[in-house]
Structure 1
Amino acid sequence: MTGSGDRPPAGGGPVTPPGRGRRPVTVVSVSAPLRAQFFPDRIGDRLTTITDATPVDDHAALTGVDLAPLLARAEVLVTSWGVPRLDAALLDRAPALRLVAHTGASVKPFVTPELFARGVAVTQAGQGMARSVAEVALAFTLALLHRTHRFDHALRAGTSWDRAEQAPPRHEILGCPVGVVGASRTGRAYLELVRALGAEVSVYDPTLSVADAARLGVRLVGLDDLLAGSRVVALHAPTLPETRHLLGARELALMPDGAGLVNTARSWLVDEAALVAELSGGRLDAALDVFDDEPLPTGHPLRALPNVLLTPHQAAGTVQGRRRQGEIVVDEIVRYLAGRPLVHAVTPDLLARTG
């Protein structure tokens, strides 16, 4: 068995463990409230048993003086949202670093080529979020089909009962044509849920083969056909140059009157100005968890539209989902210690293809 001085290969191959029976110095750069969600009870106990873990409440401490001695010895860095970019300057302060384990999904905001160049393995816990986000997307889908958001808006606004009763036609999900943009982890979890309730699902995803679509029980179609033929369109695509404003004014105009758009993925995918313009006319409905500006400004026009259901980017925040994310991180550290391949490794190629 090799010693801890040997760097692991970048990506998902076997990683060189730090030595049997030794607990690697680990910096857990996760705020106290999130640590309580990710690493409660036995999950936290596992983390502190297998590693010499030090919690850091503020990401800014990673670049400060006080943490320098600890960072210099850290072999594992556990991260959460808002961690600074792991560039050469920061990595110079962490020469022993071998593994970065992210409690979230996308590592694009902070992972740099320098990290891979130094042979540091990267992993993430996005799989733990898939079910939670898929369930919210399902809840959004049902709300749009039954216009519950319109009724809620009307009654809260003091609209008369007779007027509040008025809404566009409502539909059941049984036999409903649902379009899914992106067969991602969350996209697959969502399509499994809506198919179980009887929806007829079409998918647009250039990376998905016809055979894969058949195995998923869905129909593979082009984007225009999906938009024109779906009563509800749910977005689950990654953040890539080619997905920027995938849905603009032209694409939104293809959606049938009364259709609904669900976005629990990324605002990157939709031209928000075009969406606001379309929604302002009342032709479409939407349920949104993500926005160009977060927090969503109090005066934003989306807040005032009765045909829009809004949540503050919290689709993934379930108790069970957070626990799964923490378990994934701990399991990946265990694999690192055993020199086994990481199950959720992020390689340079994968990072270029996902959001």
Structure 2
Amino acid sequence: MTRPHTIAFAMDPARTEGVITPPLLDRLARSCTIVDPTPLRSFTQGQAPEVLRRTEILVTGWGCPAIGRRILETAPNLKLVAHAAGTVKGFLSPDVLEAGITVTHAAEANAIPVAEFTLAAILFANKHVFRFRDLYRADRNRSRTFPLTAQPVGNFRRTIGIIGASRIGRRVIELLEPFHFRVLLHDPYVDARGAAALGAESVSLDELMRLSDVVSIHAPALPSTQGMIARHHLALMRDGTTLINTARGIIVDQQALIDELRTGRIDAIIDVTYPEVPEESSPLYDLPNVFLTPHIAGAIGNEREMLGEFIVEEIERFVEGLPLRSAIMPAALETMA
């Protein structure tokens, strides 16, 4: 009988609660030998070196220590890094992929709640839900809200601009399909035919900003995308339109966005900022045309189990010698989110 693969874990338990649930741990135990069920938070302290020496599959998550060339020496039998979260770029060195170790991640699963959050944001934005709420709360009657219901608000035949045909961007486009929307897409790596196959029209960034009722950002945070949404792009947005950002705050010129929002001309639904937590004095907390959330679009609460389930399935496929669904290719690492 072939010896089962050995498996260990590296993540911060406080940040990853609910990802690898007891039933999922039981599933792993049926296909692998668990070296130690307690997640490693350091690769150098205590029993960590011995655990790593015996490990062939390392399940990582939020709070995982950096994995680079030095760790590869400590874990000579390592064959698979399975990241039960989205991006691996914050902790994984390219050395790992170059050493021939397979790396997979749960970004596909994490895309689901982000896309659902975005769909809800789009529908609420076009319906001006937050403005209606604020007026109703302030007046305690319908003297101002009722006349607004006859104004051109709503979701029928609106134009939605998607920036970035990422996993999340593509899934958002899929979710928009049942609605009466015109969907525009800006992605330098997707041509007109590719956009049409996704159900969108390929346009320039300027066109997208000018034509859209709602602009939703789904580009990765790369050196080439930092500040990509600049002051002149925001100025192209028509009065009453909405910017949604569930990607990364650094993609948008933050001061330019604040300046534009201060005019009251556009609205914003913002789940990410730069810096990630705005200063206490930031206008983003108080502007009435801003709906600010603390980076909750991705998997939180019981949604985290989707990440764990996806990674357990990937590990089962690896053990059975089947192709992985989300294996990361070395060439793709630089352009990934």
Report if TM-score (shorter chain) is over 0.5. Answer: yes
Could you tell me whether the CA contact under 8 Å between 2:262 and 2:287 is conserved in 1?
yes
Which ranges of structure 2 fall in alignment gaps of 5 or more residues?
Answer: none
1:339 match? 321
Tell me how far 1:245 sits from its aligned partner.
1.1
Residues 1:223 and 2:205 are matched in the alignment: yes
Distance 1:95 1:306 in 2: 56
Residues 1:97 and 2:66 are matched in the alignment: no
Residues 1:264 and 2:235 are matched in the alignment: no
Distance 2:164 2:243 in 1: 14
Tell me how far 1:239 sits from its aligned partner.
1.9
Cα 1:99–1:353, aligned 2, differ >3 Å: closer, same or farther? same
271-280 or 290-299: bigger deviation? 290-299
Tell me how far 1:281 sits from its aligned partner.
1.0
The amino acid that maps onto 1:328 is F
Could you tell me whether the CA contact under 8 Å between 1:147 and 1:170 is conserved in 2?
no
Superposed CA RMSD: 2.4
Share of identical aligned residues, percent?
35
2:45 match? 64
SS at match of 1:71: helix
Distance 1:242 1:35 in 2: 31
47-56 or 300-309: bigger deviation? 47-56
Distance 1:304 1:250 in 2: 24
Distance 2:156 2:184 in 1: 14
Cα 1:298–1:210, aligned 2, differ >3 Å: closer, same or farther? same
SS at match of 1:233: strand
1:82 match? 63
Could you tell me whether the CA contact under 8 Å between 1:272 and 1:292 is conserved in 2?
yes
Deviations 1:205-250 (A, max 9, x none): 1111222222222111111001100000011111222211110101
Tell me the matched-pair count.
Answer: 334
TM-score (norm 1): 0.86
Residues 1:50 and 2:31 are matched in the alignment: yes
Alignment map for 1:1-355 (pairs within 5 Å): 21-32=2-13, 36-40=17-21, 42-53=23-34, 54-57=36-39, 59=41, 61-153=42-134, 158=138, 165=145, 171-317=153-299, 321-355=303-337
Could you tell me whether the CA contact under 8 Å between 1:128 and 1:321 is conserved in 2?
no
Which ranges of structure 1 fall in alignment gaps of 5 or more residues?
Answer: 1-19
The amino acid that maps onto 1:127 is E
Distance 1:292 1:233 in 2: 18
Could you tell me whether the CA contact under 8 Å between 1:252 and 1:278 is conserved in 2?
yes
SS at match of 1:85: coil
SS at match of 1:101: strand
